[in-house]
């Protein structure tokens, strides 16, 4: 199959690209490199620099490469930033995705796997969160992603688009030779590792007064390699005729921010220097997935179930790549 991977130079997109190529697919990576890394792109993939908002360019790429399906990652990802610049996030995520869908429609490409987020749920009524839980995002990032999910539903109903929306919880870890290197970095595990390594003075711990077991947020961490494998399963399901799929992707285990910080310290062999800071606007108290639907329907089985094992992969990658990909 010939797959266009938007955002394929990013953290998750690069790992999915590598797995697709290993499975025998032909991959075209389409990335603006605004936050992605050219060095993260598998050499067996065709790389094209571009922005999904450039509809004529996307149409040419789809046509020139005979693309059969799209996996769509290209988007900004910072929930905290989205509460300061919501207009940027709606333009980038929602308008950019609409441009991509219009290009696909024009070229007769009718299958897409969409990188969605647990942020579409907002503050859940109960845990674990199932796919039929109320959708009430508490930040602009989640709202923008939910708008795209709604668009996909309408394109399915009216144009026959076949789609899978995968709602990620917290992607983490490394899949050598690929790892996590955001600029700027905002994810807890790499920030904690950088603090231990002295690459930043300390970690800022946002919020210590949540109604949780130690006052810090609870999150569900899923290894990036396990996350990637779910995309291949969803793509094959669409290829077999499925039309509308929505799945949570998480480990089904929740850890507080303090528990994660302590786990990083155990892996590193010394404590993480951190400083308590006020809550960030839009951060829910706790997000823990139920992944029962994708386990039952597609047979997805995460290989990493322990937080320290996930952290170990991230620690080892950063130890070998102290400057990340070294291109920023």
Tell me the catalytic residues. 141
| Spacing of C-alpha 151 from chain mean position | 19
Token representation of residue 319: 């130890």
Q: Distances from the Cα of 132 to the Cαs of 78, 124, 129, 290, in angstroms? A: 25, 11, 8, 11
d(C-alpha 212, C-alpha 66), whole Å: 50
Query: Residue for token digits 């499975």?
Result: 23
> Do the beta carbons of residue 93 and residue 28 sit within 8 Å?
no
> Do the beta carbons of residue 328 and residue 183 sit within 8 Å?
yes
Phi/psi at 118 (5° precision): -65, -15
d(C-alpha 169, C-alpha 248), whole Å: 8
Where in the chain does DSSP place strands (E)? 2-6, 26-31, 46-49, 69-72, 111-117, 162-168, 170-172, 203-206, 218-223, 244-249, 254-256, 274-277, 286-287
d(C-alpha 171, C-alpha 187), whole Å: 9
Cβ atoms within 10 Å of 305's Cβ, excluding its own? 14
d(C-alpha 185, C-alpha 19), whole Å: 25
The end-to-end CA distance of the chain, in Å, is 33
């Amino acid at each position: 199959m010939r797959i266009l991977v938007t955002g394929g130079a990013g953290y998750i997109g690069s790992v999915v690209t590598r797995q697709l190529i290993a499975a025998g697919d032909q991959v075209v990576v389409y990335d603006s490199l605004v936050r992605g890394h050219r060095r993260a792109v598998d050499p067996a993939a065709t790389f094209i620099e571009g922005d999904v908002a450039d509809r004529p360019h996307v149409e040419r790429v789809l046509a020139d490469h005979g693309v059969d399906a799209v996996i769509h990652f290209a988007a900004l990802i910072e929930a905290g930033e989205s509460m300061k610049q919501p207009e940027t996030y709606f333009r980038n995520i929602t308008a950019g995705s609409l441009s991509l869908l219009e290009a696909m429609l024009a070229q007769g490409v009718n299958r897409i796997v969409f990188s969605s987020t647990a942020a579409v749920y907002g503050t859940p009524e109960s845990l674990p969160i199932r796919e039929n839980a109320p959708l009430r995002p508490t930040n602009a990032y989640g709202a923008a992603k939910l708008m795209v999910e709604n668009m996909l539903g309408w394109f399915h109903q009216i144009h026959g688009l076949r789609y899978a929306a995968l709602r990620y919880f917290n992607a983490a870890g490394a899949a050598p030779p690929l790892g996590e290197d955001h600029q700027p970095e905002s994810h807890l595990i790499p920030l904690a590792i950088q603090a231990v390594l002295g690459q930043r003075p300390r970690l800022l711990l946002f919020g210590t007064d949540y109604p949780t077991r130690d006052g810090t947020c609870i999150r569900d961490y899923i290894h990036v390699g396990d996350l990637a494998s779910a995309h291949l399963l969803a793509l094959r399901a669409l290829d077999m005729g499925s039309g509308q799929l929505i799945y949570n992707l998480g480990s089904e285990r929740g850890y507080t921010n303090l528990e994660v910080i302590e786990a990083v310290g155990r892996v590193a062999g010394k404590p993480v220097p951190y400083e308590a800071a006020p809550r960030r606007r839009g951060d829910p108290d706790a997000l823990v997935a139920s992944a029962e639907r994708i386990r039952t329907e597609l047979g997805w089985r995460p290989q990493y179930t322990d937080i320290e094992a996930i952290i170990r992969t991230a620690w080892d990658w950063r130890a070998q790549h102290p400057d990340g990909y070294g291109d920023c």
